[in-house]
Amino acid sequence: AQKVTQAQTEISVVEKEDVTLDCVYETRDTTYYLFWYKQPPSGELVFLIRRNSFDEQNEISGRYSWNFQKSTSSFNFTITASQVVDSAVYFCALSDLGVYGNNRLAFGKGNQVVVIP
């Protein structure tokens, strides 16, 4: 069974500080995808980044960066120079291809990020 663990529940940072969110996953599949989603107070989940299990190259996209380490089953996410608009709940999610190739998502419990101005 797929499982995603986000240990930290609420993280508070002062504006312009960096914040790193930890994600550890469990899967028996060799092919899978990992995602980070943002859920602002409005409630709509917003797709941020995706990484497949074949590519461990870490990347930066604007103020977002991620560190995927297959050996430790971790997929950590960093927001650089945080802004008040970054205040939201961030979810790590894992998908597999499923029997029907449907890539259903298994989510962690989320990290509440509070950016203090």
Interacting residues with another protein (CB under 8 A): 4, 33, 35, 37, 42-47, 50, 91, 93, 95, 98-100, 102-110
Using the minimum distance from each CB to another protein, give the nearer residue, 79 or 108. Answer: 108
Using the minimum distance from each CB to another protein, give the nearer residue, 64 or 107. Answer: 107
Q: Smallest distance, Å, CB 108 to another protein?
A: 5
Letter string b/e over residues 29-63, b meaning 16 or more CB atoms within 10 A of that residue's CB: eeebbbbbbbeeeeeebeebbebebeeeeeeeeee
Using the minimum distance from each CB to another protein, give the nearer residue, 68 or 110. Answer: 110
Q: Smallest distance, Å, CB 88 to another protein?
A: 13
Q: Smallest distance, Å, CB 67 to another protein?
A: 19
Please provide the DSSP assignment of 70-84 as one string.
GGGTEEEEEESS--G
Residue 106, CB half-sphere, CA atoms under 13 Å: how many?
Answer: 18
